[in-house]
Chain A
Amino acid sequence: MTTLPPPPDAHPSEAGQGRTPPTETTGDPDAVHPSGALDQRAVSAVEAKTPATRKQKRSGSPSAMADIWNRYKRNKLAVIGLVAVAVILLMAIFQPLITPYDPFEQNLYNTTAPPDGDHILGTDVLGRDMFSALVYGARLAMVVGIGTMLMSAIVGVSFGALAGYRKGLADTLTMRFTDILLAFPLLVGAILVVRIFGQGVLPVAIALVVFGWPTSARLMRGQTLALRESEYVEAARSIGASDTRIVIRHILPNAIAPVVVYAFTSVGVVIVAMAALSFLGVGVPADVPEWGRLISQSYSFIRVPGSEHLWLAPAIAIVITTLAFAFVADGLRDALDPKLRGGN
């Protein structure tokens, strides 16, 4: 199998639902290093860190964490993203306390009302308070998004580490399996799964995990393949460490960075996918105020002036959430990337 960069999720055309922002360097505009043809060694003299003063750190140890946080802080967008994610999470957690109305409560006498004193964001097509519906949507997005992300990551990392470390048959089988899953159009595959298991939040999550773990697995496999040739792995093997111990204690902490970065990006992908599924009518049930559902329900009001809030509000919610997680992922990537640590 050629060593291609991890492919973006199958069928990026599917309305962005299956898309992964490629794991590329965006070139941090705040980078301390002058770019260009400058001699790297001359530049290394710029950094004040000298080898003698750098403490020996294991990744995961407290001072390594502090290091990562310091680097993370440098990226303003990433900090904004983190704040936004925190706000959304809090909204999701405290939703019952925040929402002035019950998000499910429909009032068919007062539908599509523009924002006013009673309803800060107006009401939607079914008379639900838009603001409450949005907050509930945030809760749904967080639960499904983060839940799916965690499950995909766990499954993906396990398979990826197995494939990368054991190589041979385990590797080939895993790779072929992920090939097949990745070749499936994400949306269609998810639709099929939901059709089979029926509508509801859980089938949607399952569908997204089924088609989401292959990318994490690919990433982990690539990292494991590279790292298993490292000298410290060789050293651990030479003192008799078991395979499991080597993978968990030595390879995992060092391999995990791109997987974590992708995991955060994938939350946005999952949220968009779920919204797309609901938009199509396949996803959460019709009475659940999910962002994508809200948009599809306002489809016929698209060009009616005065009803922009119907689709604009959930659309903005989706965009902000996706961006927030993407920023955090970007920030994490820069913070975890040893090449940007400066010095030699």
Chain B
Amino acid sequence: MPDLTKSHEDVLADTDVTPAERVLEVRDLRVHFDTPAGIVKAVDGVNWHVDAGETLAIVGESGSGKSVSAMTILGLVPSPPATFPSGEVRLHGRSLLDLPESQQRKLRGNDIAMIFQDPLTALNPVFRVGDQIAEMVRVHQKVSKAAANKKAIDLLAEVGIPNPNTRARQYPHEFSGGMRQRAMIAMALANDPKVLLADEPTTALDVTVQAQIMLLLEELQQRRNTAIVLITHDLGLVASHADRIAVMYAGRIVETGTTDEIFAAPRHAYTYGLLSSLARMDHARPAKLEPIPGQPPSLSRVPAGCAFHPRCAFATDACTAEIPELLPMAPGSGHLHACIHPGSVAEALAAPKEVAPSAERSATTGKAPVVEVTDLVKHFPIR
């Protein structure tokens, strides 16, 4: 029973057997929702961990339960209607789920911080940006208002926002999309958290801005040795910025390993499907895109056995029998998958691909152009 008189540093000091750099560990987490439509198994037996200074990417489609697992770590999932039939979340070995609310609050924004998808709606529109960051500081550190404001300005500078003094006094709607996300990152890092949960941090941004933000996260990670959990559906992002990947489907992890392992040698049919639907710029003659047929299942009616089998090209009857366990590819390997036909996947991977039709078309057809644009100029007055 946690001692409520302890300060939060003491709470974390009671570490368990797990290695000290293992910052965050999730074991067998289940989060079920009681709804009129039935029991929704948003998270159904999930295991992952992230160490200091590394980036774990949790990949999956919308509705695969990835966000819910992150929210559970922060204790932000309201308990009716959610229930937690099983599972442990450990921060530096200390269990989080059974902590009372007051203790959990001490960790939020302090040891574990989260940034969200849409920075415009995630920031309070009626308060100044600087004030919101300063608030983050003052909740967890005993500093004066002036000191907190100064810290806020410093943070804004650290995330690359020019004129931080002026910017701190502005409101969120006066920032551009990329700047807002930088501000959110600044806010999240205000108390130097051990883990940063990033829920689709770049989905709402332009592609060029996406790259900037991810670069920023990398810099900050190197500087502060933060563990980052990157929740995303964007495999391209994952390829360039994640150290390890956990692939989620229908509330379960179906494959996990290092980025190289997953991209070079996927062993679960779903992972393979995801990779095949990716357009690859690095192939001279790009392969034809193979989307995964069908739709992800409703989490209140997950198919029996392997949840992916209705859409799987390699499925057999055995796949419906029981839920495959997440097992290492080879003893001692960090590459785990939950597919009983890894061989079929490996075969399909090695087989030569059909070439995309557009790659074979030549540049010109020799006919007269339908529309021709010459020297077009369009100006917009700025009021």
A29 at the interface (CB under 8 A from B): no
Kindly provide the distance from the CB of A70 to the nearest chain B CB, expressed in whole angstroms: 15
B62 touches A45 (CB 8 A): yes
Q: How far apart sit A46 and B31, CA to CA, in the bound complex (Å)?
A: 13
A45 touches B36 (CB 8 A): no
Bitwise, A4-39 to B at CB < 8 A (1) or not (0) is: 000000000000000000000000000010101111
Q: How far apart sit A37 and B78, CA to CA, in the bound complex (Å)?
A: 7
A32 touches B71 (CB 8 A): no
B78 touches A42 (CB 8 A): no
User: Could you pull out 6 A-B pairs where Cβ atoms are within 8 angstroms?
Assistant: A39-B199, A42-B42, A42-B65, A45-B64, A46-B33, A51-B295
B239 at the interface (CB under 8 A from A): no
Q: How far apart sit A90 and B201, CA to CA, in the bound complex (Å)?
A: 58
A42 touches B295 (CB 8 A): no
A3 at the interface (CB under 8 A from B): no
Interface range on chain A (Cβ under 8 Å from partner):
10 to 19
Bitwise, B45-83 to A at CB < 8 A (1) or not (0) is: 000000000000000001111011001000011100100
A304 at the interface (CB under 8 A from B): no
B37 at the interface (CB under 8 A from A): yes
A57 at the interface (CB under 8 A from B): no
Q: A32-B37, A34-B33, A38-B77 are in contact. Are A46 and B67 (CB under 8 A)?
A: no
A39 touches B67 (CB 8 A): yes
Kindly provide the distance from the CB of B173 to the nearest chain A CB, expressed in whole angstroms: 14
Question: Given the complex, which residues of B lie within 8 Å of A32, measured CB to CB?
Answer: 35-37
A36 closest partner in B (C-beta): B78
Cβ 8 A contact of A42, one of B37, B67, B296, B298: B67
Question: Given the complex, which residues of A lie within 8 Å of B65, measured CB to CB?
Answer: 42, 45
A34-B35, A45-B296, A46-B300 known; 15 other A-B pairs, CB under 8 Å? A34-B33, A36-B78, A38-B71, A38-B77, A39-B68, A42-B63, A42-B65, A42-B71, A45-B64, A45-B299, A46-B40, A46-B298, A47-B37, A48-B300, A51-B295
A303 at the interface (CB under 8 A from B): no
B35 touches A46 (CB 8 A): yes
B78 touches A48 (CB 8 A): no
Q: How far apart sit A36 and B78, CA to CA, in the bound complex (Å)?
A: 7
Cβ 8 A contact of B62, one of A38, A44, A48: A44
Question: Given the complex, which residues of B lie within 8 Å of A45, measured CB to CB?
Answer: 40, 42, 62-65, 296, 298-299
Residues of B in contact with A (beta carbons under 8 Å apart)? 33, 35-37, 40, 42, 62-65, 67-68, 71, 76-78, 81, 199, 295-296, 298-301
Bitwise, A39-62 to B at CB < 8 A (1) or not (0) is: 101101111101110000000000
A38 touches B37 (CB 8 A): no
Residues of A in contact with B (beta carbons under 8 Å apart)? 32, 34, 36-39, 41-42, 44-48, 50-52, 344
Q: How far apart sit A38 and B35, CA to CA, in the bound complex (Å)?
A: 13
Question: Given the complex, which residues of B lie within 8 Å of A51, measured CB to CB?
Answer: 295
Q: A34-B81, A45-B62, A48-B298 are in contact. Are A39 and B71 (CB under 8 A)?
A: yes
Kindly provide the distance from the CB of B301 to the nearest chain A CB, expressed in whole angstroms: 8
Question: Given the complex, which residues of B lie within 8 Å of A344, measured CB to CB?
Answer: 62
Question: Given the complex, which residues of A lie within 8 Å of B37, measured CB to CB?
Answer: 32, 46-48
Kindly provide the distance from the CB of B64 to the nearest chain A CB, expressed in whole angstroms: 8
Q: How far apart sit A344 and B40, CA to CA, in the bound complex (Å)?
A: 16
Question: Given the complex, which residues of A lie within 8 Å of B295, measured CB to CB?
Answer: 50-52
A342 closest partner in B (C-beta): B37
B64 closest partner in A (C-beta): A45
B62 closest partner in A (C-beta): A41
Question: Given the complex, which residues of B lie within 8 Å of A44, measured CB to CB?
Answer: 62-63
Q: How far apart sit A279 and B129, CA to CA, in the bound complex (Å)?
A: 55
A42 closest partner in B (C-beta): B68
B63 touches A41 (CB 8 A): yes
Q: Which of A36, A38, A39 counts the most B-chain CB atoms under 10 A from its CB?
A: A39
Q: How far apart sit A32 and B296, CA to CA, in the bound complex (Å)?
A: 21
B37 closest partner in A (C-beta): A46
Question: Given the complex, which residues of A lie within 8 Å of B64, measured CB to CB?
Answer: 45
Question: Given the complex, which residues of A lie within 8 Å of B67, measured CB to CB?
Answer: 39, 41-42
Q: How far apart sit A34 and B31, CA to CA, in the bound complex (Å)?
A: 15
A53 closest partner in B (C-beta): B295
B200 closest partner in A (C-beta): A41
Q: How far apart sit A34 and B83, CA to CA, in the bound complex (Å)?
A: 13
Kindly provide the distance from the CB of A42 to the nearest chain B CB, expressed in whole angstroms: 4
A32 closest partner in B (C-beta): B36
Question: Given the complex, which residues of A lie within 8 Å of B78, measured CB to CB?
Answer: 34, 36-38
Question: Given the complex, which residues of B lie within 8 Å of A38, measured CB to CB?
Answer: 71, 77-78
Question: Given the complex, which residues of B lie within 8 Å of A34, measured CB to CB?
Answer: 33, 35, 78, 81
B61 closest partner in A (C-beta): A45
Cβ 8 A contact of A37, one of B42, B76, B199: B76
Q: Which of A34, A45, A47, A52 counts the most B-chain CB atoms under 10 A from its CB?
A: A45
Kindly provide the distance from the CB of B183 to the nearest chain A CB, expressed in whole angstroms: 21
Q: How far apart sit A302 and B305, CA to CA, in the bound complex (Å)?
A: 74
Question: Given the complex, which residues of A lie within 8 Å of B35, measured CB to CB?
Answer: 32, 34, 46
Q: How far apart sit A286 and B36, CA to CA, in the bound complex (Å)?
A: 56
Q: How far apart sit A37 and B75, CA to CA, in the bound complex (Å)?
A: 10
Kindly provide the distance from the CB of A44 to the nearest chain B CB, expressed in whole angstroms: 6
Kindly provide the distance from the CB of A32 to the nearest chain B CB, expressed in whole angstroms: 6
Kindly provide the distance from the CB of B7 to the nearest chain A CB, expressed in whole angstroms: 26
B67 closest partner in A (C-beta): A39
Kindly provide the distance from the CB of B303 to the nearest chain A CB, expressed in whole angstroms: 14
Question: Given the complex, which residues of A lie within 8 Å of B40, measured CB to CB?
Answer: 45-46
